[in-house]
Structure 1
Amino acid sequence: MKSKKTLLITLLVIIISSLPLKGQSNDTEAAIYNIGFSAVFSTVGAIINKKPNEPLGKVIKKSLWQGALGGYITFESKRILREAQQQEKWEYFWVAKLVNAAGTSIKENASMNRDLWVKWHINIGFNRIEFNTIDKFSVSYKVMPVSLIYTADAFFRYDFNLQNSLRTGEFIFNTPLINDKENIDIEASTYPGYIVFENEFKNDIKLVSHEIIHQYQNNDFTIFNTYYQKPLIKWSDKNKTINWLNRYIYPEFHYFILRPTYLIEENTANSYYDNFFEHEAGYYSNTID
């Protein structure tokens, strides 16, 4: 059984890896990417988190459709951001954020081999708020340490934009000038837990949408954090310290996958928007030149 699980996981990863990683040029392609990515990697997670006596076929079938549903909802959240900038409706940002949180929650439930309604969460900066619906409804809080460190640093370096933070549900900062690693002036940049804009562009709704898509891309990759939950839970049961850490801290190991993937795209792209992640952000925000 263990060898069968390993084979299936390998095949699923090969399938998704063999697909060309290119930016979407229409909503059909965009939907297929979000649905396919979520369905495949939710299924990999569900196989990892499968109970010993649970039928493998049942797990695969359930996780595929739940992951696909979560991916579709995620796709719709990105389209809502597009509507926000097209209609210049700042109030749409919170709608998009809530829809994205729902889609991400469904994908994580699928990957954890749970029913889709069992646990919901929303990320606000470095804060992860979880809503547990099984047995008795409860709310719990976890801090995301990588995002916390980056955001704490931002408070010392930039000016906190309270108005746009409240309007978008993201931690937003402003600064007179942003230089990238090559000392080139850029208009905005997204980091774990926050977004910073040059003062001139702080209310540019297209640019705000573009950067928030990058935060949604981060949410897309949190599905990989479910892959280590099974051994972590076992470890927590045996160690009080690990149990406490697991209760209040949400490790962001997905950055070990997201960041290298972004850098590979950046280093192999022929132009700025040839980078898949930038193309996707530009597609939904209408910032592609």
Structure 2
Amino acid sequence: MTLPLTFSPEVAEARAAGAAIVALESTIITHGMPFPQNVETARRVEAEVRAAGAIPATIAIMDRRIHIGLTDRQLDALGQAKGVAKLSRADLAACLASGGTGATTVAATMICAHLAGIGVFATGGIGGVHRGAETSFDISADLRELAETAVSVVAAGAKAILDLPKTLEVLETLGVPVIAFGQDDFPAFWSRSSGLRAPLRMDHPADIAAAHRLRGRLGLPGGQLIANPIPIEAEIPRAEIMPQIEAALAEAEARGIAAKAVTPFLLQRIFDLTEGRSLTANIALVLNNARLAAAIARELAAPG
């Protein structure tokens, strides 16, 4: 059966030329911020990928097709669409079958990128083990996807609202390489350090690309998590952000907010508590991840 993939003209041309391509998720557009800031930010991220020598492929589900790369018109339409589904592995096929419009999370973007032959994906932060998961069993599908799908994911670590020690434990159990870029500490999204040591460290995109290739040659399933710290000038230090995270978590528990509603609530409350600094930092780290992902993609596209 032919896969329901539609490539934008820019991505189709890059594929034909064997050029470097970086996958980008679409939930940042539909669930991350309001219009028009969402579309403006998406265009900034795409421009950053191009400036770094690769082609961006923003992924979304529309009209029963997996769109690999969006035109300007499609990006505008997605940014203003209502009732867009937030898709992970469990509901990707159902959305395609029903003709719905869907934005891809980390897990769904990895699946679609792999189907399209794209080996590198830039995002903000991955999901992970939620606080209290020992009773709620709330663990993101992103972690298992990293263990199963051969895509290298560049992120500023896992979202700082999560249980980061347990997230690293699960990644270790699943056999996922967690590679900090240019430092020994595992970054914590808005902060350069989580206070935890990363299992692996690499300082050069060429080494990350070589490890990606070798995993395939060795028959090892899954991808890599490249933990890229937020730029120093944009970070909110851990000592400053943690009290605000704890306050937001306590409020969520007091109000009985649970399951899929937790993360959007926490991110909004932290935005309020930091007077918007968390969103500014979020944009800076996504742009930074796009640059690194493009450098890795260039290495993967190079001969050899």
Give me the TM-score of the superposition, normalised by structure 2.
Answer: 0.31
Which has the larger helix fraction? 1
Report which of the two structures shows the higher radius of gyration computed on alpha carbons.
1
Give me the TM-score of the superposition, normalised by structure 1.
Answer: 0.32
